[in-house]
């Protein structure tokens, strides 16, 4: 792999830190751009916001490549915030990168950009579809992915990667929310918990994104879904995460149709009177937990010259080891 000067946006987030650390380990000169320090050893921090064009123009100076992870990720919130960060922030970063002579651009997207609510069974990466994507996050990420791929040219080559349900030690989104809800007795199975779902251990997501950066000259203009390639029933995945954290897995269930209807109602209520946290259920979340979504990984692995290093079972062992460690002073436990 050729050593590059790489700007990683969103490197203070769970996946962003892992990607920046992986790129440092691969020998790249890494700069991290986000609103607070990334804590990535061996990388340079540039503090700023993707909503501030002057910050972006400064950040891309001298860069060979950009890996863009910064995004507003939430089940709820002001639609204008999703638009400003996910769409307009991406648009501004693309423009700044072109002006600065950046030659490679990796847009980190989500499989939700092509998910319209139905089961996904062994599919490849379908086209991003803002009109059918569920929720403000998915819709704005779909628009941003289309902007990124439309910017692909001989001068700046662009590839989109879509890691699916990334998790691991230190994850404060998927794992922590599952564990917290299970500990409080508020984590049901939707339906029978039999829907097959793909997930991605964080180290595998990071190595795949690093591989995509290396392969941009040969695979530009394409989108790739990234997963472990080990679909499991959702009940088994929840069980593995809960047991790793030492809490009881869900022992009660809610009909999937009822959860979807309830999620729609809760979303409507949150728009009128938002809660202090994300809503306990949304229609999108209910669909994600009750329908199959696993992906054909053959094109991803062949084109990116990549295979996952960490199996799901090994990931659960690492998660359990992290939860077994005492929490840092003044902080919450890992996961």
Domains, the chain, ranges and CATH? 5-166+200-227+295-309 (3.40.50.720)
pLDDT of residue 191: 64
Sign of CA dihedral 126, 107, 221, 25: negative
The verdict on whether 201 is a catalytic residue reads no
pLDDT of residue 272: 57
CA–CA separation, 126 and 304 (whole Å): 17
Q: Do 209 and 19 touch, CB atoms closer than 8 A?
A: yes
CA–CA separation, 257 and 190 (whole Å): 9
| Nearby residues of 96 by Cβ (< 8 Å), 6 or more positions away | 53, 56, 57, 59, 60
Q: Nearest to residue 294, comparing CAs of 207, 197, 152?
A: 197
Selecting among 137, 201, 224, 323, the annotated active-site residue is 137
pLDDT of residue 263: 46
CA–CA separation, 97 and 156 (whole Å): 8
CA–CA separation, 116 and 128 (whole Å): 10
- Mean pLDDT per block of 10 residues along the chain (335 residues) reads 91 95 97 92 95 95 97 81 94 97 97 76 80 87 97 98 94 84 78 84 98 97 96 91 90 57 48 56 56 87 97 96 76 36
Query: How much is the pTM?
Result: 0.89
């Amino acid at each position: 792999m050729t050593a590059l000067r790489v700007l990683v946006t969103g490197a203070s987030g769970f996946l962003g830190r892992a990607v920046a650390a992986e790129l440092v380990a691969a020998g790249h000169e890494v700069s991290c751009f986000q609103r607070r320090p990334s804590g990535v050893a061996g990388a340079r921090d540039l503090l700023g916001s993707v909503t501030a064009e002057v910050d972006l123009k400064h950040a891309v100076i001298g860069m060979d490549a950009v890996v863009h992870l910064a995004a507003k990720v939430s089940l709820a919130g002001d639609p204008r915030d999703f638009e400003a960060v996910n769409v307009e922030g991406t648009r501004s970063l693309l423009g700044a990168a072109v002006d600065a002579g950046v030659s490679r651009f990796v847009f980190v997207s989500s499989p939700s950009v092509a998910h319209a609510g139905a089961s996904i069974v062994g599919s490849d990466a379908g086209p991003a579809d803002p009109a059918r994507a569920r929720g403000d996050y998915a819709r704005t990420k779909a628009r941003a992915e289309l902007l990124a791929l439309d910017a692909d040219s001989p001068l700046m080559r662009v590839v989109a990667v879509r890691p699916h349900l990334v998790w691991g030690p230190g994850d404060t989104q998927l794992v922590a929310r599952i564990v917290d809800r299970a500990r409080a007795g508020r984590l049901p199975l939707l339906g029978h918990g039999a829907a097959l779902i793909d997930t991605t251990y964080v180290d595998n997501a990071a190595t795949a994104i690093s591989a995509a950066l290396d392969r941009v000259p040969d695979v530009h203009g394409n989108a790739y879904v990234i997963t472990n390639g080990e679909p499991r029933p959702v009940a088994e995945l929840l069980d593995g995460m809960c047991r790793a954290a030492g809490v009881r897995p869900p022992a009660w269930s809610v009909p999937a149709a009822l959860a979807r209807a309830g999620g729609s109602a809760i979303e409507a209520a949150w728009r009128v009177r938002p809660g202090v946290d994300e809503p306990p259920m949304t229609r999108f979340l209910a669909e994600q937990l009750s329908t199959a979504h696993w992906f054909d990984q053959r094109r991803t692995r062949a084109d990116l010259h990549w295979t996952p290093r960490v199996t799901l079972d090994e990931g659960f062992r690492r998660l359990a080891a992290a939860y077994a460690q005492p929490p840092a002073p003044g902080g919450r436990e890992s996961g």
